[in-house]
Chains A and B, each alone.
Chain A
Amino acid sequence: MAENRIKIRKSTQLSKRKDYQIETTLHQGAVAIAGETVFTGKPFNPLQTIIQEEFAAISRWIVASGGIVGHLKSFLSAAEQQVMISSTGEQVTCRTSPSALFSQGKRSEGIQISIALIVFNIPQMDLEERLIDIFDRLNQEESEESQ
Chain B
Amino acid sequence: MKILILGGFLGSGKTSVLLQLAQYLVQQSSGSSQTRVAIIENEIGQIGIDDKVLRGNGYEVREIFSGCVCCSLNSDLISGIQEIKSTVDPDWLIIEATGVAFPDKIAESLFTNLGLAARVVTIVDASRWQRIRIPLANLIEGQLNDAELILINKTDLVADLELMAVEADLRNLNSDAVIYQISGIKPMDEGLLKEIQHG
Q: Which residues of A contact B (CB under 8 A)?
A: 21, 23, 25, 27-30, 32-36, 68, 70-71, 73-75, 77, 82, 84, 86-90, 97, 99-100, 114-116, 118, 120
Number of B positions contacting A (CB below 8 A): 32
* CB-CB under 8 A for A84 and B53, given A21-B47, A28-B100, A35-B47: yes
State how many angstroms separate the Cβ of B83 from the closest Cβ of chain A: 23
Q: Which DSSP category, helix, strand, loop or mixed, fits chain B's interface? A: loop
From A34, A71, A77, A82, give the contact of B46 (CB < 8 A). Answer: A34
Contacts of A75 in B (CB 8 A): 49, 52-53, 56
Q: Are B49 and A114 in contact (CB under 8 A)?
A: yes
**Chain B 21-50 interface 0/1 with A at a Cβ cutoff of 8 Å (1 = within):** 000000000000000000000011111111
A116 to B58, alpha carbons, bound, how many Å? 22
Contacts of B55 in A (CB 8 A): 100
Contacts of B172 in A (CB 8 A): none
14 inter-chain pairs at a CB distance below 8 angstroms, sorted by A residue, are A23-B45, A25-B67, A28-B100, A30-B44, A68-B136, A75-B49, A100-B55, A100-B57, A114-B47, A114-B48, A115-B49, A116-B47, A116-B49, A120-B136
Q: Which residues of B contact A (CB under 8 A)?
A: 9-11, 43-50, 52-53, 55-58, 66-68, 72, 98-100, 125, 127-128, 131-132, 135-136, 139
* CB-CB under 8 A for A82 and B56, given A25-B44, A70-B11: yes
From B44, B45, B49, B128, give the contact of A88 (CB < 8 A). Answer: B128
State how many angstroms separate the Cβ of A97 from the closest Cβ of chain B: 6
Contacts of B131 in A (CB 8 A): 68, 89
From B10, B67, B72, B127, give the contact of A70 (CB < 8 A). Answer: B10
* CB-CB under 8 A for A100 and B45, given A27-B100, A70-B99, A88-B11: no
Most chain-B Cβ atoms within 10 A of its Cβ — which of A25, A89, A120? Answer: A25
Q: Are A88 and B56 in contact (CB under 8 A)?
A: no
Contacts of A115 in B (CB 8 A): 49
Q: Are A99 and B135 in contact (CB under 8 A)?
A: no
Beyond known contacts A27-B67, A116-B45: 15 more, CB 8 A cutoff: A23-B47, A25-B45, A27-B44, A27-B72, A29-B100, A70-B10, A75-B52, A75-B56, A88-B125, A89-B128, A90-B127, A97-B57, A100-B58, A116-B47, A120-B136
A30 to B132, alpha carbons, bound, how many Å? 13
Q: Are A77 and B56 in contact (CB under 8 A)?
A: yes
Contacts of B139 in A (CB 8 A): 28-29
Q: Are B52 and A32 in contact (CB under 8 A)?
A: no
Q: Are A68 and B135 in contact (CB under 8 A)?
A: yes
Q: Are A88 and B10 in contact (CB under 8 A)?
A: yes
